């Protein structure tokens, strides 16, 4: 009876350049805002464009661990949004520190979930193309 265990392969590491590149799409908001773009149509357009870029990069490139990659990118994206909002946007009337902290935590959780969703779509595209993530 053979008691040896089959060799296991460790998961490929997350590519941090991809994480940073995806998170850098947060810069679309202030860049287009400077150009005078705003409103709900603007927000939906930037959101859709960002989602398409993320899913496309994760699904069409050989990105290992697309769900983890996109979740981490989402957290960095959210951290950038929170930082920009606090530094540039300031506080509204009656907004206290605890409210800002709760809003920041909500934003981080929300974009992490959106990132994970983009990662799942990217992973599905990879698998549909015959790639193993």
CA-wise closest residue to 128 among 35, 43, 58: 58
Q: What is the pLDDT of residue 6?
A: 63
Residue 87: the pLDDT is: 81
Tell me the domain boundaries of the chain.
16-128
Looking at residue 90, what is its pLDDT?
65
Among 17, 23, 22, 13, which residue's Cα sits nearest to residue 57? 22
Compute CA distances 99 → 92, 103, 111, whole Å: 11, 6, 18
Phi, psi of 9 (to 5 degrees): -105, 135
pTM: 0.82
pLDDT of residue 111: 94
pLDDT given at position 39: 83
With beta carbons less than 8 A apart as the criterion, state whether 46 and 29 touch.
yes
**Mean pLDDT for each consecutive 10-residue tract of the chain (133 residues)?**
66 92 89 78 88 96 94 95 80 75 92 96 94 66
Q: According to the model, what pLDDT value does residue 107 have?
A: 92
Q: Look at residue 54 in the predicted model and tell me its pLDDT.
A: 96
């Amino acid at each position: 009876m053979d008691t040896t265990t089959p060799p296991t392969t460790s998961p490929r590491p997350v590519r941090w350049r991809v994480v940073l590149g995806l998170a850098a799409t947060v810069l679309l908001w202030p860049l287009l805002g400077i150009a005078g773009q705003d409103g709900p149509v603007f927000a939906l357009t930037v959101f859709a464009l960002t989602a398409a870029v993320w899913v496309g990069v994760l699904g069409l490139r050989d990105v290992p661990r697309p769900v983890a990659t996109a979740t981490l990118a989402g957290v960095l994206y959210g951290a950038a949004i929170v930082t920009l909002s606090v530094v540039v946007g300031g506080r509204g009337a009656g907004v206290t520190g605890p409210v800002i902290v709760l809003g920041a935590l909500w934003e981080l959780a929300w974009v992490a979930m959106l990132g994970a969703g983009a990662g799942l779509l990217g992973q599905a595209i990879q698998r549909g193309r015959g790639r193993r993530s």
